[in-house]
Amino acid sequence: MSVRSSSGPWLFVSTLKEQMTTRAVQFVVRKYGQRAGLEQCTPYTLRHTFCHELAVKGVSLDVIAALAGHMTADGRPNIATTAINLFGS
């Protein structure tokens, strides 16, 4: 797979379009996760693990919420959503 550089806001780019589709990102993450020996590797598990590790390291929930994109309608970090995703209901 050839990767081109992009001046756009996208993390994942393709040779065909500036932005990869959601499905294409899922495929790439699963493919390289399997090559690394991680059978259940999905974008969601990577995101959850990232947030969980931040919490374990003592990063505040408002920072984790902002990094996870858990925001309220008025632009503040949604700590309640983050806590549910990290620690269950």
Q: Which residues pair with 77 in a beta bridge?
A: 71
1 pLDDT exceeds 50? no
Dump pLDDT digits (tens) for 30-83.
999 999 999 889 999 999 999 999 999 999 999 999 999 999 999 999 999 888
- Tell me if 55 sits within 8 A of 85, measured CB to CB: no
Give residue 15's pLDDT band: very low, low, confident or very high (50, 70, 90): confident
4 pLDDT exceeds 80? no
The full set of domain ranges for the chain reads: 1-38, 43-87
Q: From 31, 29, 30, 1, select the one nearest 15 (Cα to Cα).
A: 1
pTM, two decimals, is 0.71
